[in-house]
């Protein structure tokens, strides 16, 4: 008796898909797996009519496209593409600069070391105003048009139109973004990475591939097949195009998930720092929003006064929990209908809070981009419910056939539900698949290599920050850029104070001043100081050192507001400003530093002094070696070879022999400040404010700490010093009738005083300096750049 034959169901077809032609490709099988309901087998005992299948290939293709299985991710990627590229167009038109650049002056001071050619060689220049304006206008409108076209998926019926338009906009966006360092934000950097991946992945599609293209016409002309055969070949090519689009979209979705996961991972990892955990950073962020009137009416200062530090500790902890949850959901969870809903809810909670509290400062683009990430956290291939139903139907049909064919001994092994190979996996599973290869990877060897290299770089670039800095990056900002620090640390180099002054008639008058601790001292022949009144008379004011270059934008400084924020955040960039200023003055007046005896001309030297405070608490710490000529350091930077430039950028180090950033020991005395703060507040209750200065004896020997308070009463207390060092206070006054441009020349003779530990010395001088000297002739301090820790701590007590 011959065994009855069963019609193979979808599970058996998928199990044997490697036996014929292009069925070896899993994406082809997914494209052909149209029916959502499993097909039941028929036997001779079943007299009912067998289930009819759709035989027209074109209709099968359209049915496959409309199903929620294989093509779901293609359509979701298309929606994601539209949102992302509209964000790019908005940012390109709104936030990025679109004007000719002033090549010999300020604009060239704020370029990336590795991307200087963008400004020097490619950018439209002010030196050619007609062409510069027209070129900028062309780049502006052309980029917007290309971006909108790319967002819509290209020009219908035009092959590779999306790739062309999207790539062109991406290049223009990158050109503007990498031209200036003060344009950098983590948001713009993220958009750039995501757009690149969307372009590589093909951008998805709302509709199935066209059934007839110009390439089909060329292929048809070169064949003698009959019309029916030609039509079959066209349908086969369309099926292959659909298969390729599904496969690229699936791979692109995995790459986008990887990038989002990296962002959330580092955004949560870097938050495990004391200043974040105790709420200090969150307090500084939200109260600054209130000061800038971008707080959406939320009275953060009042809430802080009512609830105390616990308010911002809760906000900080919530930020860590949400960032970590997003990372774990992207990395550990396999996208299903339930996990996708959970991920969407988490995104709405987190970025909804960001939209409400921060959108007036950071805009809506970043939250919208992160919310759009839910579109690519969708199941790939057929969902598990569909596959389980198919497996159960197969097991039931096998049981029925075995009962009917008990005498035939039909040998068919059922596949249990647990043994099914899932189409989808979590991010770690996908990375493992890319490492080992095989059909489950659903990617070509090139795509797998690209994915692994991409993941490695996205992890390696941020991790270099703590590795090469030894943990000093909060103070030095070395390798801080491109590391997903997300408004983590704030740095301040300004002593600001507001109070009330009692007039002779008994009335109180409000006053305020700003003492800049970022000071650049230009000199001729390293000896003769160049007065501010000689090169920038409008920048002269009572609280500024007349020997220095003004770095305060509100007082006619050489930098703008956003540029000052950059040099505050990235001290490494101060040398670019110093060298650029020296070069600009040399071009304007080469005779400025001419030796009258020898006739020799040379550019001005510029030496820097910088004290910076981290996150609004702790001491102001010295950051620069004051013996390094920053103008020469900038010349040495420009003369580096390509390899030296690459090494300098990766390791974030200065030119050989011109390292000016104190990369070791910054903040080493910070742990002693809270105890001293409490002690001094108890001893001097009349003090309105107390600030601490952390310094190094070797550096103070080379250039003293200088302030120009213009008579404001300061109390100076020496708290820490090395045994072999004597700390001296020098005070000088200015006659009351001295004009601003003659401040330095009319200074009276200095009055010296040796500071003693824990003793208050009050000064009302126009300017005062604090320096050190060795107490023994046989003892000498090391070079400032060679010091590894701070050894001098001074308290400045505001007495009014």
Q: What is the pLDDT of residues 44-69, one digit of tens each?
A: 444 444 444 444 555 555 555 554 55
What is the rounded (10 degree) CA torsion for 571, 573, 579, 581? -90
- How far apart are the C-alpha atoms of 567 and 414, rounded to whole Å? 68
Query: Which residues are bridge partners to 762 per DSSP?
Result: 715
What is the rounded (10 degree) CA torsion for 381, 385, 391, 396? -150
HEC readout, 723-756: CCEEEEEEEECCCCCCCHHHCCCCCCCCEEEECC
Burial letters for 477-486: b for 16+ Cβ neighbours within 10 Å, e otherwise?
bbbbbebbbb
- Give the contacts of 21 (CB within 8 A, at least 6 positions apart): none
- How far apart are the C-alpha atoms of 96 and 114, rounded to whole Å? 19
Is 24 in contact with 17 (CB distance < 8 Å)? yes
63 found inside a domain:
no
- How far apart are the C-alpha atoms of 543 and 710, rounded to whole Å? 6
- How far apart are the C-alpha atoms of 199 and 81, rounded to whole Å? 9
- Give the contacts of 514 (CB within 8 A, at least 6 positions apart): 494, 495, 496, 543, 552
- How far apart are the C-alpha atoms of 505 and 509, rounded to whole Å? 11
Question: Three-state DSSP class for 692?
Answer: strand
- Give the contacts of 208 (CB within 8 A, at least 6 positions apart): 61, 62, 65, 71, 238, 242
Query: Which residues are bridge partners to 499 per DSSP?
Result: 511
Q: What's the pLDDT at 778? A: 61
338 found inside a domain:
no
Q: Residues, the chain, total?
A: 800
- How far apart are the C-alpha atoms of 502 and 518, rounded to whole Å? 31
Q: Phi, psi (5° rounding) for residue 725?
A: -120, 140
- How far apart are the C-alpha atoms of 153 and 77, rounded to whole Å? 11
CA proximity to 748, closest of 756, 738, 758: 738
HEC readout, 641-654: CHHHHHHHHHHCCC
Is 721 in contact with 697 (CB distance < 8 Å)? yes
CA proximity to 374, closest of 253, 194, 263: 253
73 found inside a domain:
no
Q: Give the C-alpha distances (Å, rounded to integers) separating 195 from 115, 163, 170, 254, 267.
A: 20, 11, 7, 14, 20
Q: What's the pLDDT at 421? A: 44
Question: Three-state DSSP class for 610?
Answer: strand
Structural domain total, the chain: 1
CA proximity to 719, closest of 748, 781, 761: 761
- How far apart are the C-alpha atoms of 693 and 702, rounded to whole Å? 17
Question: Three-state DSSP class for 465?
Answer: helix
- Give the contacts of 335 (CB within 8 A, at least 6 positions apart): 343, 377, 378, 379, 380, 424
Is 364 in contact with 354 (CB distance < 8 Å)? no
Question: Three-state DSSP class for 197?
Answer: helix
- How far apart are the C-alpha atoms of 696 and 698, rounded to whole Å? 5
Stretches in the chain below the pLDDT threshold 50: 1-55, 67, 212, 407-421
- Give the contacts of 689 (CB within 8 A, at least 6 positions apart): 497, 797, 798
Is 524 in contact with 605 (CB distance < 8 Å)? yes
Q: What is the pTM of this model?
A: 0.83
Q: Give the C-alpha distances (Å, rounded to integers) separating 441 from 83, 177, 378, 448.
A: 28, 35, 17, 8
- Give the contacts of 749 (CB within 8 A, at least 6 positions apart): 732
HEC readout, 761-780: EEECCCEEEEEEEECCCCCC
Is 221 in contact with 390 (CB distance < 8 Å)? no
Count the Cβ atoms, other than its own, within 10 Å of residue 587. 11
- How far apart are the C-alpha atoms of 516 and 45, rounded to whole Å? 95
Count the Cβ atoms, other than its own, within 10 Å of residue 538. 10
Is 157 in contact with 92 (CB distance < 8 Å)? no
For 1, counting Cβ atoms within 10 Å of its Cβ (0-12 exposed, 13-18 middle, 19+ buried), the class is exposed
Q: What's the pLDDT at 383? A: 57
Is 603 in contact with 595 (CB distance < 8 Å)? no
- How far apart are the C-alpha atoms of 668 and 389, rounded to whole Å? 64
Q: What's the pLDDT at 36? A: 42
- How far apart are the C-alpha atoms of 164 and 153, rounded to whole Å? 11
Q: Give the C-alpha distances (Å, rounded to integers) separating 472 from 489, 569, 667, 781.
A: 12, 14, 9, 23
Query: Which residues are bridge partners to 796 per DSSP?
Result: 691, 716
CA proximity to 58, closest of 196, 219, 222, 236: 236
Element (H, E) at 552: none
614 found inside a domain:
yes
Quickly list H helices, 620-696: 630-638, 642-651, 673-683
Q: What share of the chain is helix, strand, coil (3-state, %, to 5)?
A: 50, 15, 35
Range of the domain at 611: 491-798
- How far apart are the C-alpha atoms of 357 and 538, rounded to whole Å? 39
Element (H, E) at 715: strand 714-720
CA proximity to 150, closest of 195, 111, 192, 193: 195
429 found inside a domain:
no
- How far apart are the C-alpha atoms of 603 and 584, rounded to whole Å? 10
């Amino acid at each position: 008796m011959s065994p009855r034959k069963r019609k193979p169901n979808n599970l058996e077809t998928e199990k044997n898909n490697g036996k014929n032609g292009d069925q070896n490709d899993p994406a082809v099988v997914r494209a052909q797996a149209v029916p959502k309901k499993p097909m039941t087998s028929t036997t001779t005992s079943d007299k009912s009519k067998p289930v009819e299948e759709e035989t027209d290939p074109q209709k099968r293709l359209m049915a496959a496209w409309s199903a929620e299985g294989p093509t779901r991710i293609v359509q979701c990627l298309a929606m994601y593409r539209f949102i992302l590229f509209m964000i790019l167009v908005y940012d390109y038109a709104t936030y990025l600069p679109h004007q000719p650049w002033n090549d010999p002056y300020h604009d060239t001071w704020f370029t990336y070391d590795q991307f200087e050619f963008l400004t020097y060689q490619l950018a439209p220049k002010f030196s050619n105003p007609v062409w510069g304006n027209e070129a900028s206008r062309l780049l502006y409108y052309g980029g917007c048009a290309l971006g909108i076209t790319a967002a819509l998926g290209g020009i219908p019926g035009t092959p590779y139109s999306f790739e062309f338009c999207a790539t062109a906009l991406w290049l223009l966006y990158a050109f503007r973004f990498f031209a200036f360092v003060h344009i950098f934000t983590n948001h713009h950097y993220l958009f750039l990475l995501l757009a690149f991946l969307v372009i590589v992945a093909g951008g998805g599609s709302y509709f199935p591939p066209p059934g007839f293209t110009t390439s089909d016409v060329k292929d048809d002309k070169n064949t003698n097949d009959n019309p029916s055969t030609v039509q079959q070949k066209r349908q086969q090519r369309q099926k292959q195009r659909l298969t390729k689009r599904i496969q690229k979209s699936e791979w692109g979705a995995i790459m986008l998930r990887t990038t989002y996961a990296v962002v959330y991972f580092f955004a949560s990892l870097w938050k495990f720092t004391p200043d974040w955990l105790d709420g200090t950073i969150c307090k500084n962020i939200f109260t600054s929003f209130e000061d800038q009137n971008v707080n959406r009416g939320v009275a953060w200062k009042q809430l802080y006064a009512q609830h105390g530090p616990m308010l911002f500790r809760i906000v900080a902890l919530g930020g860590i929990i949400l960032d970590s949850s997003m990372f774990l959901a992207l990395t550990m969870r396999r996208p299903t209908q339930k996990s996708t809903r959970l991920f969407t809810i988490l995104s709405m909670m987190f970025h909804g809070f960001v939209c409400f509290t921060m959108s007036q400062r950071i805009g809506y683009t970043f939250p919208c981009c992160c919310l759009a990430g839910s579109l690519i956290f969708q199941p790939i291939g057929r969902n598990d419910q569909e596959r389980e139903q198919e497996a159960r139907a197969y097991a039931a049909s096998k049981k029925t056939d075995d009962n009917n064919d008990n005498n035939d001994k039909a040998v068919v092994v059922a596949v249990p539900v647990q043994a099914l190979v899932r189409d989808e996996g979590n991010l770690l599973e996908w990375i493992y698949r890319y490492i080992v290869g095989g059909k489950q990877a659903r990617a070509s060897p090139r795509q797998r290599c690209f994915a692994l290299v991409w993941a490695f770089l996205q992890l390696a670039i941020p991790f270099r920050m703590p590795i090469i800095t030894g943990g000093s990056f909060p103070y030095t900002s070395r390798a801080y850029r491109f590391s997903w620090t997300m408004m983590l640390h704030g740095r301040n180099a300004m002593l600001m104070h507001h109070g009330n002054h009692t007039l002779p008639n008994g009335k109180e008058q409000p006053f305020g001043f700003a003492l800049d601790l970022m000071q650049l001292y230009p000199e001729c022949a390293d000896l003769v100081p160049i007065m501010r009144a000689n090169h920038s008379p409008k920048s002269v004011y009572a609280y500024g050192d007349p020997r220095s270059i003004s770095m305060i934008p509100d007082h006619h400084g050489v930098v703008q507001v956003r540029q000052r924020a950059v040099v505050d955040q990235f001290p490494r960039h101060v040398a670019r400003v110093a060298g650029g200023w020296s070069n600009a003055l040399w071009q304007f007046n080469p005779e400025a530093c001419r030796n009258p005896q020898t006739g020799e001309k040379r550019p001005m030297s510029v030496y820097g002094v910088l004290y910076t405070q981290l996150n609004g608490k702790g001491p102001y710490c010295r950051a620069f070696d004051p013996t390094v000529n920053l103008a020469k350091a900038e010349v040495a930077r420009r003369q580096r070879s390509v390899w030296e430039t690459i090494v300098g950028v990766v390791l974030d180090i200065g030119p050989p022999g011109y390292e000016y950033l104190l990369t070791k020991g910054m903040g080493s005395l910070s742990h002693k400040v809270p105890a001293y703060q409490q002690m001094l507040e108890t001893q001097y209750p009349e003090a309105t404010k107390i600030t601490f200065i952390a310094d190094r004896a070797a550096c103070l020997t080379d250039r003293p700490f200088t302030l120009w308070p213009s008579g404001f009463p300061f109390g100076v207390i020496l708290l820490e010093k090395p045994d072999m060092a004597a700390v001296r206070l020098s005070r000088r006054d200015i006659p009351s009738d001295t004009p601003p441009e003659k401040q330095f020349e009319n200074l009276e003779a200095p009055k010296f005083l040796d500071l003693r530990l824990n003793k208050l010395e009050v000064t009302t001088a126009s300017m005062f300096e604090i320096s050190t000297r060795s107490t023994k002739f046989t003892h000498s301090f090391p070079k400032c750049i060679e010091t590894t820790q701070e050894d001098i701590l001074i308290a400045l007590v505001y007495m009014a």
